[in-house]
Every structure is written in structure tokens, then in C-alpha cells.
Amino acid sequence: MDKNLIASLNNALGGMSANERAIAEVILDAPREVVGLSSQALAERCKVSQSSIIKFCQKIGFPGFPALKIALSAETARSENAEQIHAGIFSDDSLGAVARKLYASKIAALSETMKANPNAVLDAAVNQISAANRILILGVGGSALVAQDLSSKLAKFGKAVIAGGDSHIQLANLASFTPNDLLISISYSGTTREVQVAVDFAQEHGIPVLHIGAYHQTPPPDVVLQCVADENVVRSSSIATRTAQMGITDLLFVLFVQGQGDVAQRISDSHGLVRKIR
């Protein structure tokens, strides 16, 4: 896990024990401070035993806490004279360096996200979309842009999709859904309040849920697709996060379209209508 350590820890939170999660959350909240702590000091801050720190390090692929600190330092350390303006990008970087780092982070987000989602889970997600009478896609902030994009794509192929607008209205729409419909919730952190409320309601009323992002509550949604982006220390905008989310939603759309029998005709009809207003 030493590559993209911070992103990997965030992505793995949902499968951790209580002690492991306590340690991971302290690391994610203050990675630079953790580099300066001893294992005993970290254990006290996390309210766990020192042996729990060692076991945690070994579980995520390090022989001990010093090795973890070296990896963490490599991700967070930079000249004190340079201001970090985005994950991995600093104020003294050249134009070429900024371009390379930005595109590398986007490529890494796509690559790591694809690795995190088995084919069986992707297949289950596509089956949910295909079977749903109506689909509500809920995302807040940057995730709302991803929700709107997926909505417009699915609508072109005849799916009845609701997305965008005030989150209160979205939740009110969800109240009319049945087990024949589908909630697609999008939240990188999995802690967005509106998303948690929506997923809880859907689970209570037997409405299928497809969640895109981390999710730490129990029980988990029916299908969870992970998004991995190394943007947890400093981020001026959720660029790599949105890249990871869009990578997942674009893949779901293409897989869904692949299963449609009249793809060419639908695309032709869509283009034909657009040409009439040009």
C-alpha cells in the first residue's frame, strides 16, 4: 500500500476494524504531524495500544512504524518555501512539472480506480441500471456534476432519470421510489449527509442502491464501486476525484449501452434530432 498511501488508506477505511480505522483517520487528518510522532505517541492519540500500531503497519505492507513514516513523509514532504496548491503540485513547480503532475494524477486515479472494482461488481451495477424503471442520481458539490453527466447519458437511451437541482427536492423525489427503481449515490468520501440520508431511506424501503465512492456505514449499499484519487492532503479542486468518478460512470454507461440491441439506431435518431435545430 506504500504507493498512493494516503489515497489507499482512505479507500480502505470501510473494511477496517475499529482500531484500524482510528489509526487510519488520525494519519489522514494530520499526515505531516504523524511523521513526527513516535509509535507510542501515535497510539496515545488514537487511543489504541502500541502493538495495534505495529499490527496496523504490517497489515498495510510495512515492517513497522518507521517504514510507514518514511513512505508518508515522501508523500507529504516538500520545501518549506513552496506552498502546496493542489495534491502533489506546489507553487514553485514549472509549467511542465504542473502539467506532468496533473495528468499523472488523473491517469493514476483512473488506473487505481479500475483496479479497485472487480468485473463482477461492475456487472452487478450495470444489471441494476438495466432493470430499474426510474433512476435517481444523487451527488452534492463536485459529485453533482458527475451525477448530471451520467443522467444525460442514460436519458439518451430511454432511462427515466432524475438528477441535479436542490438536494431537498431530490430527497423528496426519492420518497416516491419503489423496489423497482434505483438510487445511484455518488460521494467520494462517503460522508456526505444528503447521501447518507438517501441511502438509509432507500435501504429501509427496499429500494436498490448503487453507490459510487467510499462508504463507511453499515449495512453497506447493495453495490459499491470504489473511486481512488490521491487528493486527501491538499486540494484546490476535486480534479482527480472527479476524474475517478467520471471514469466509473463513463464505464457504466458504455457497458449499459453495450447491452442494448438497437444502439446504432438510437444514436442515429439522437443525432438526427439535433441536426434539425442547427
Query: Is 246 found in the same domain as 120?
Result: yes
- Give pLDDT, residue 100: 80
Residue 85 in any domain: the answer is no
Query: Is 130 found in the same domain as 72?
Result: no
- Give pLDDT, residue 82: 57
Query: Is 150 found in the same domain as 66?
Result: no
Q: pLDDT tens, 246-263? A: 999 999 999 998 887 766
Residue 53 in any domain: the answer is yes
Structural domains counted in the chain: 2
Query: Is 263 found in the same domain as 151?
Result: yes
Query: Is 262 found in the same domain as 141?
Result: yes
DSSP letter for each residue of 46-76: HTS-HHHHHHHHHHTT-SSHHHHHHHHHHHH
Residue 108 in any domain: the answer is no
Which parts of the chain sit beneath pLDDT 70?
Answer: 1-4, 77-84, 86-88, 92-93, 230-237, 262-268, 270-271, 274
Domain, as residue range, for 169 = 115-273
Residue 224 in any domain: the answer is yes
Query: Is 162 found in the same domain as 260?
Result: yes
CATH number at residue 121: 3.40.50.10490
Residue 104 in any domain: the answer is no
**Mapping DSSP to helix (H, G, I), strand (E, B) and coil, where does residue 278 land?**
coil
- Give pLDDT, residue 263: 61
- Give pLDDT, residue 270: 67
Query: Is 169 found in the same domain as 52?
Result: no
Residue 213 in any domain: the answer is yes
- Give pLDDT, residue 234: 46
Cell match 488514537: residue? 46
User: Using an 8 Å Cβ cutoff, are 24 and 13 in contact?
Assistant: yes
Residues 6+ apart with CB under 8 A from 226: 11, 113, 116, 117, 213, 214
pTM for the predicted model, two decimal places: 0.69
| Domain stops at, among 26, 54, 77 | 77
Q: pLDDT tens, 179-210? A: 999 999 999 888 889 999 999 999 999 999 99
Query: Is 222 found in the same domain as 143?
Result: yes
Residue 20 in any domain: the answer is yes
Determine the Cα–Cα distance for residues 180 and 178; give it in Å rounded to an integer.
5
Query: Is 123 found in the same domain as 64?
Result: no
Distances, alpha carbon 165 to alpha carbons 136, 140, 253, in Å: 12, 10, 22
Residue 97 in any domain: the answer is no
Query: Which grid cell is 213?
Result: 465512492
Query: Is 186 found in the same domain as 51?
Result: no
Query: Is 65 found in the same domain as 128?
Result: no
Determine the Cα–Cα distance for residues 204 and 200; give it in Å rounded to an integer.
6
